[in-house]
Each structure stands twice: as structure tokens, then as C-alpha cells.
């Protein structure tokens, strides 16, 4: 496993982060989920990402069980706040009330005294940034949070937050967690330049495009049984946008590229995201131990320029680059 600094901080994280978004607490039974997380540890992964909203808080519970007994100082545990975790009017967003209550609840579920990185899961248009940033800073001062990050914020939102944090003497933001893969590159034109300037790194999710970049989905063929495309708990909705003949035929052209590099398709896709110097880590989920063992081997791989060019040529104009697609939900009213 290789490690990279997270933003302009002293914190190092593993190039592969284990994430349990869709799988734990819903798709995968707890005992198998725990075995899979232990396989991640065996592969050298030290960074683990979750969120309070995943599987209606159950994902954090599973992660807490799986990491119990591990040396806490050897792990980097990340979670997030924003989405609803209850039916109350204040059970969502980035108000001080929701942030404080959500952090305390997450710590209990994760069975830890602190999280290494606490992330604003989306931008909240209804709460002043000053209120959100003060709440995060207070959690840092209390020792419950070591570093602060955001997820799926656009470049201007990141700039505003960094400026306000500096003006008010708050702990600064060191990371952003966006979707990023060969097909979805919307952060490249604005978010990454702003992040490089301001000292943030990307921790990217969906590096294999919900499984599409593994090559297991074929144009004109039914989706494989048991795949994410058959999951009615949210997985199918996420992957459906990629299941067009045009995309699947283009992805098939990546297979000889991966073979020439002696990589699996998944490893090629993950290594591609890590070829961007502003990416600190790629978040990889798994429903079986062997999946994470395979994908962890993408760490430390350097893709030559001719391979990167061949990938671009294969995917052509199917790549999405519109920066305006980095959006958070508009005000609840």
C-alpha cells in the first residue's frame, strides 16, 4: 500500500480507502461485511470512509464492529454529516444543532472517541457558512474531530469556506470528496484547480463508475444477477445512467489496454483516478473479501502517458466534464 498527504496537512492516508456506502447494513450481511473489512486491513488499507446516512446509520455500526480491537492510532476513520438521519425538522443539513448531535451519534456508532476527518456531505444553502464552520471548529477544539472536509462542493463554495475559515481563525478544510472516474470528470476544470490553490486534496468516490468500468456489463446483454444494477435499495438507480450501448461498447475497448498493463479492469480504473496528483485516495467498496484484495493492488501503479491517451481515445466524447454538474440540493423550502 502507498500513502499520500491529505491536502496541505501532515495527515497521510492510504491510496485506497475502504468505503461502505451501499454495501454494509443493507446489501451485505454483517459477518461478511466484517470479513471484507478485515481483508482490507490485511491488504494494507488504513483509511475507512462512511457516513451517518448510509443504510440509515447501520453502516457506521458495522464499521464500528469491524474495527473494534484494532489499534486506533493506526487507522484513519472518516464520516460525514448533512443528509436526514431522523424525522425531525432539524435532523438534516449543516446547522450547529445537527452537526453537534450527528457527530456525537456517529462516535457512538463507530465506537471511537474521535474521527480523523469529518465531512460536510453536501453544501447547505439554508445555513450560514459561518455557523457550519464554527461548529466544525468547535468539534476540532473538543478533540472529537481531527480534520475537516467537504463532499461534492463546487469550486466557489470551497473558496468561500476557506476564506471565511481563515478570516475567523477556524480550522481549515483539507479535503473534498467528489465523484470522479474515467467517465465522470466534472471536477477537473474548476474544483481541482481551486483545491490545488487552496491546499485541498480529493478523496474520490465511484472510481469504477458503480462497477461499469469493471467490464462486467455488456452491451445487448442482461445485467448479471447479483450485480449492483439489480439492487433495488439504491444501487440500480446509480448505475443505470451508464448502462447504454454507447458507454458499454466504449468500456469494452479498455479491456485490451488493461490486459497490456497486466491489470484487471478495476485496477486500471482505480489507477487512472490516482494518476491525478490532486487525488489523495480512491474510495473502493466491496461485497466480498476477494474484491477488496484485488482492488487494493491498484495502489502504487503508474500509468504511462500513452496508456492515459489510449483511455481518452477509447471513451471519446462520452466523458462528462461539465463543472455545473457538481451540485447540492437546493433549499428545502
Among 239, 247, 201, CA closest to 13:
201
CA–CA distance, 159 with 129 (Å, rounded to integer): 11
CA–CA distance, 33 with 24 (Å, rounded to integer): 6
Burial (CB count within 10 angstroms: exposed 0-12, middle 13-18, buried 19+), residue 275:
middle
CA–CA distance, 224 with 68 (Å, rounded to integer): 35
Element counts in the chain: helices (H) and strands (E): 12, 10
Angle (CA) 121 53 284, round 5°: 70
**70 C-beta neighbours (distance < 10 Å), count:** 15
Residues catalogued as catalytic? 54
Place of cell 471484507: 36
Place of cell 481515445: 313
CA–CA distance, 174 with 4 (Å, rounded to integer): 13
CB 140 within 8 A of CB 148: yes
Whether the CA torsion 224, 227, 231, 236 is positive or negative: it is: negative
Amino acid at each position: 500500500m502507498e500513502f499520500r498527504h491529505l491536502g496541505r496537512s501532515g495527515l497521510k492516508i492510504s491510496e485506497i480507502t475502504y468505503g461502505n456506502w451501499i454495501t454494509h447494513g443493507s446489501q451485505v450481511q454483517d459477518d461478511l461485511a466484517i470479513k471484507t473489512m478485515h481483508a482490507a486491513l490485511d491488504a494494507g488499507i488504513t483509511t475507512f470512509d462512511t457516513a451517518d446516512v448510509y443504510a440509515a446509520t447501520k453502516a457506521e455500526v458495522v464499521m464500528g464492529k469491524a474495527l473494534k480491537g484494532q489499534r486506533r492510532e493506526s487507522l484513519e476513520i472518516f464520516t460525514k454529516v448533512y443528509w436526514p438521519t431522523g424525522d425531525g425538522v432539524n435532523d438534516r443539513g449543516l446547522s450547529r444543532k445537527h452537526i453537534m448531535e450527528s457527530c456525537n451519534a456517529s462516535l457512538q456508532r463507530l465506537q471511537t472517541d474521535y474521527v480523523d476527518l469529518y465531512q460536510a456531505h453536501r453544501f447547505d444553502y439554508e445555513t450560514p457558512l459561518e455557523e457550519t464552520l464554527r461548529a466544525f471548529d468547535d468539534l476540532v477544539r473538543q478533540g472529537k474531530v481531527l480534520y475537516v472536509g467537504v463532499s461534492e462542493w463546487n469550486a466557489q463554495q470551497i473558496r468561500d469556506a476557506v476564506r471565511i475559515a481563515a478570516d475567523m481563525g477556524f480550522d481549515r478544510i483539507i479535503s473534498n470528496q467528489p465523484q470522479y472516474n474515467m467517465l465522470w470528470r466534472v471536477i477537473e476544470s474548476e474544483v481541482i484547480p481551486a483545491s490545488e490553490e487552496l491546499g485541498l486534496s480529493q478523496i474520490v468516490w465511484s472510481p469504477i463508475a458503480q462497477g461499469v468500468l469493471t467490464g462486467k456489463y455488456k452491451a445487448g446483454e442482461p445485467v448479471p444477477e447479483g450485480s449492483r444494477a439489480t439492487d433495488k435499495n439504491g444501487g440500480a438507480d446509480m448505475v443505470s445512467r451508464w448502462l447504454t450501448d454507447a458507454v458499454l461498447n466504449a468500456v469494452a475497448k479498455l479491456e485490451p489496454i488493461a490486459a497490456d498493463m497486466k491489470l484487471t479492469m478495476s485496477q486500471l480504473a482505480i489507477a487512472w483516478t490516482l494518476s491525478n496528483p490532486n487525488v489523495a485516495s480512491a474510495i473502493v467498496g466491496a461485497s466480498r473479501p476477494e474484491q477488496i484484495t484485488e482492488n487494493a493492488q491498484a495502489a502504487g501503479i503508474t500509468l504511462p502517458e500513452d496508456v492515459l491517451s489510449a483511455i481518452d481515445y477509447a471513451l471519446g466524447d462520452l466523458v462528462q466534464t461539465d463543472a455545473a454538474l457538481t451540485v447540492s440540493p437546493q433549499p428545502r423550502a
